[in-house]
A and B are shown apart, each in its own frame.
Chain A
Amino acid sequence: MEKTTNQKAWFLVLPVLLLVGFSAVIPLMTVVNYSVQDTFGNNQFFWAGLEWFETMLESDRMWNALGRQLMFSAIILAIEVPLGIFVALNMPKSGFWASLCLVLMSLPLLIPWNVVGTIWQIFGRVDIGLLGYTLDALGISYNYTQNTVAAWVTIIVMDVWHWTSLVALLAYAGLKSIPDAYYQAAKIDQASRFKVFRYIELPKMAGVLMIAILLRFMDSFMIYTEPFVVTGGGPGNATTLLSIDLVKMALGQFDLGPAAAFSIMYFLVILVISYVFYITMTTLDQKGS
């Protein structure tokens, strides 16, 4: 749609600007403030320059958390994206069963995040959980509070359970927009099932898949509640992802300076990914119109 230039439109966005300014800019400035100052208590602060940033960049703690975070995000993307596409390809295309599948698949997406944690905390317990009990009965040693591998498997399976449907639903929306003529043409050419997927379905899904991948990356990059409820970041620090570590530092130990420096670097990473996301969205919008 052709848009007209009208500077008065600013009045319409002013409420949003004020509200989000209040809840985003002021807190962010507080963080910036803490990141360049030090205190000995008594609310007396003095200038510390970039010291906290240097401290954080040299400390193993942040790099380790970042490493775990990247590993987590990489693993869940590697599982959820192919699995989501696979599920979408197998979903019924119309009718009652399609609606039922949509409803049942959406269910995990709408469960409060801490309840997702609670569900898997219970499900994985050896004494009362179906999963833990079954694994134990099969003779597999499984204890997500003691064993690092078990803890990782649990939070990854939990995330796959929680979010694969989102990838599937987006891929499904992409698939449904492919006109029937494409499939008929492929049939005339006697294209194999794989070729139909590779040359018709995948290119047509590319846009929504990109959204799915970016969304999953962003949301997994700032995941907090679910692993916090299940493992609390343990055993040891094995599942202490970025957000969990940051909350420990800021609200647990009240190390304001380092936590603020940490926050800002965290936020910068998010900003870069947001930009990629924005570019993807706007190019998609232009293609659509």
Chain B
Amino acid sequence: MTDTTPAAPGAAPIPGNVTASSRTTASFSRFRPSGSAVVMTLYLLFLLLPIYWLLNMSLKTNTEILNSFTLWPRNLTLDNYQTILTDPAWYSGYINSLIYVVMNTVISLLVALPAAYAFSRYNFMGDKHLFFWLLTNRMAPPAVFALPFFQLYSSVGLFDTHIAVALAHTLFNVPLAVWILEGFMRGVPKEIDETAYLDGYSFGGFFVKIFMPLVASGIGVAAFFCFMFSWVELLLSRTLTTVDAKPIAAIMTRTQGAAGIDWGVLAAAGVLTILPGALVIWFVRNYIAKGFALGRV
């Protein structure tokens, strides 16, 4: 773990190389203000210090955390991680979260794919209103929906199940997926559709065999963002669960209410929730802005 520490070491070498590379690139970069490297180093330091601190605490014993103030762990320990990975009360939270997040991603993509295709290819009655209405759901405050969701899913007997959380998260993830996919699909020329139909493909065959591979990166980006937004959400998932489907996020906030907080374990739990994002971040680096901007950048 220590060699992946996202602290200053990673950011430090930037200065020399940035100026070096900008000198070699075209006239473009001559307009960069000098000191870019310093600015970026400071900014990245600001971003990474709090994360480093969490990682640092997760590798310490509670005695070290509370009794001495140390910038790096003196007695490096993985006990906190071991606690989480062996105690069902902790690790079941990760499993629960993963289950509803995956369910949500699959449901969102399945319904969003045909809809996004329709929006990108056809005009139909009420299309613009529908597209706008979807957007309002992406923007709706979860706080407004917390209580009605609680009552709705209780009344149909789905309270405290994974599918309830997965369905609740479709509120903002389906619109997100539709918008992102539509952004990618509009880039595929329509002639391709027409040629495929001339070649005798049915709509289903064309869509799965020809069209989906063409927008594969869009599907990947949409899946990533559905996963992410479902993974980071706390309010709805906490409201809709008590025991059986309780997500890791809720377990973390509830332990904070106790008198003695186990800081080391809490920090370790936090680090583990960052992992899914950190693992795939390299692959989606060029699409982060696009995804957050609903496929419009």
Contact = CB atoms under 8 A, between A and B. Distances in A.
Interface of A: 1-10, 12-13, 15-17, 19-20, 22-24, 26-28, 30-31, 86-87, 89-97, 99-115, 118-123, 127-131, 133, 161, 165-166, 169-170, 172-174, 180, 183-184, 186-187, 193, 196, 208, 211-212, 215, 218, 221-222, 224-225, 229, 242-244, 246-247, 250-251, 256, 259, 263, 266-267, 270-271, 273-275, 277-278, 281, 284-285, 289
A183 B46 CA distance: 31
A16 B123 CA distance: 17
Nearest to B249: A114
Pick the most buried of A26, A97, A115, A130: most chain B CB atoms within 10 A of its CB: A115
Interface string B228-259: 10011111000100000000010011001000
B136 A271 contact: yes
A278 B135 contact: yes
B196 interface: no
6 contacts: A7-B125, A8-B124, A87-B40, A96-B17, A118-B54, A122-B263
Contact of A270 (B136, B146, B281): B136
Interface of B: 6, 10-11, 14, 17-18, 21-22, 25-33, 35-36, 39-40, 43-44, 46-51, 53-54, 57, 65-66, 69, 71, 107, 110-112, 114-115, 117-125, 127, 130-132, 134-137, 139-152, 167-168, 170-171, 174-175, 178, 186, 189-190, 228, 231-235, 239, 249, 252-253, 256, 263, 266-267, 270, 273-274, 277-278, 281-282, 284-286, 288-290, 292-294, 296-297
Given A106-B288, A208-B293, A183 B151 contact: no
Given A100-B10, A169-B288, A270 B171 contact: no
A259 B293 contact: no
Given A12-B117, A24-B171, A109 B288 contact: yes
B112 A16 contact: yes
Given A31-B144, A173-B290, A208-B297, 15 more contacts: A5-B123, A9-B122, A15-B110, A24-B137, A87-B39, A102-B288, A104-B44, A107-B277, A107-B278, A128-B66, A173-B297, A187-B30, A222-B140, A246-B144, A251-B150
Contacts of A169: 288-289, 292
A208 B43 CA distance: 21
B107 to A, nearest CB: 7
Contacts of B234: 112-114, 224-225
A208 B167 CA distance: 31
B286 A267 contact: no
Contact of A259 (B29, B69, B147): B147
A211 B297 contact: yes
Contact of A130 (B49, B110, B144, B235): B49
A97 B186 contact: no
Contact of B285 (A106, A218, A256, A266): A106
B296 A172 contact: no
B281 A110 contact: yes
Given A93-B29, A109-B292, A114-B234, A161 B46 contact: yes
A9 B118 contact: yes
A225 B66 CA distance: 26
A5 B122 contact: yes
Given A103-B281, A112-B231, A20 B292 contact: no
The secondary structure that dominates the A interface is helix
Contacts of A127: 66
Pick the most buried of B10, B32, B136, B231: most chain A CB atoms within 10 A of its CB: B136
A228 to B, nearest CB: 8
A218 B139 contact: yes
B293 A106 contact: no
Contacts of B29: 93
A24 B140 contact: yes
Given A87-B40, A103-B282, A15 B123 contact: no
A105 B284 CA distance: 12
B115 A13 contact: yes
Given A105-B47, A114-B252, A243 B296 contact: no
Contacts of A8: 124
A9 B123 CA distance: 8
Contacts of A96: 17
A92 B21 contact: yes
B270 A266 contact: no
Given A172-B289, A281-B294, A267 B141 contact: yes
Contact of B232 (A22, A27, A113, A180): A113
Contacts of B178: 16
A12 B297 contact: no
Nearest to A87: B43
B33 to A, nearest CB: 6
Given A10-B124, A250-B146, A183 B152 contact: no
A109 to B, nearest CB: 7
Contacts of A26: 148, 152
B139 A15 contact: no
A19 B134 CA distance: 11
